[in-house]
Amino acid sequence: MDNPGKKKRRFGVLDFFIILVLLLCLVGIGMRFIFKLNAPQDETFVAVETEEYIVNYISRNQRNVIPDYLTEEYEFRFLTTNDKFGYPYGKPTVQPAEKRYTASDGTQYVVPNTSNDDRTDRNDIFGSFKVTGKLNSDGVLKIDGSNNVIGLNKEYSVRSDLLVFKFVVTGIRKAS
């Protein structure tokens, strides 16, 4: 039986409009989130054409057999994402590895190699990769077919079927 002191609440027009406004707000927030995810990650690459570039690098303290595997026949991919990176371009330059020491204040010192040095099996490698991508005005290269970007003075790890290779980018220029 009904309690005579208690009123029954009914769903009114005002309740309907409040719920409708809340649902529309949620749909609007969801649409904004979905369209933001589908937008290009960096608008500066949109108007730039895909071209071939030469990426110069240095790789320090590598074994002296590594340059044998840096030839045009091996395709390299990014180590973390397995996306295509590019192909070695030309023959790399090899120099005996420099010894580097870091002082307690963070200053790095280079110690010259001597004739009786024990570092004869290690080399610093200077070379290039030929990659396809889009270069923006900030000097950042977006690799074609990938979301990976590369920039100057950054370290990257790539791999081929035979080797994993870590290097620092020292230059990016358009291939001629």
Residue 101 has what pLDDT? 77
- Put simply, whether the predicted model's pTM sits higher than 0.75 gets the answer no
Q: Tell me the three state secondary structure of residue 82.
A: coil
Instruction: Give the range of the structural domain holding residue 94, as residue numbers without chain letter.
Output: 44-174
Q: Tell me the three state secondary structure of residue 159.
A: strand
Pair (18, 54) in one structural domain: no
Pair (122, 141) in one structural domain: yes
User: Which are the contacts of 18, defined by CB distance < 8 A and separation ≥ 6?
Assistant: none
Pair (157, 121) in one structural domain: yes
- Whether residue 20 is contained in a domain is answered as yes
> CA-CA distance, 89 to 126, in Å (whole number)?
11
Q: Identify the band that residue 1 occupies on the pLDDT scale cut at 50, 70 and 90.
A: low
Q: Tell me the three state secondary structure of residue 55.
A: strand
Pair (64, 144) in one structural domain: yes
Residues 91-136: tens digit of each pLDDT: 999 988 877 778 889 888 877 666 666 556 788 899 999 999 998 8
Residue 43 has what pLDDT? 52
Pair (20, 99) in one structural domain: no
Token pair for 158: 């790539």
**CA neighbor of 82 nearest in space, from 133, 138, 147:** 147
- Which helix (H) or strand (E) element contains residue 23? helix 13-38
Helix and strand numbers (H, E) in the chain are 1, 11
- Whether residue 3 is contained in a domain is answered as no
Residues 27-59: tens digit of each pLDDT: 988 887 776 655 555 555 555 678 999 999 999
Question: How many independent structural domains does the chain possess?
Answer: 2
Pair (27, 74) in one structural domain: no
> CA-CA distance, 148 to 133, in Å (whole number)?
10
> CA-CA distance, 145 to 24, in Å (whole number)?
37
Residue 32 has what pLDDT? 79
Residues 53-99: tens digit of each pLDDT: 999 999 988 888 888 889 899 999 999 999 999 999 999 999 888 77
CA quadruple 80, 86, 88, 93: dihedral positive or negative? negative
> CA-CA distance, 92 to 59, in Å (whole number)?
10
- Whether residue 1 is contained in a domain is answered as no
**CA neighbor of 128 nearest in space, from 66, 60, 59:** 59
Pair (60, 131) in one structural domain: yes
Residue 24 has what pLDDT? 93
> CA-CA distance, 139 to 152, in Å (whole number)?
8
Residue 44 has what pLDDT? 58
Q: Identify the band that residue 4 occupies on the pLDDT scale cut at 50, 70 and 90.
A: low
Pair (33, 110) in one structural domain: no
> CA-CA distance, 24 to 17, in Å (whole number)?
10
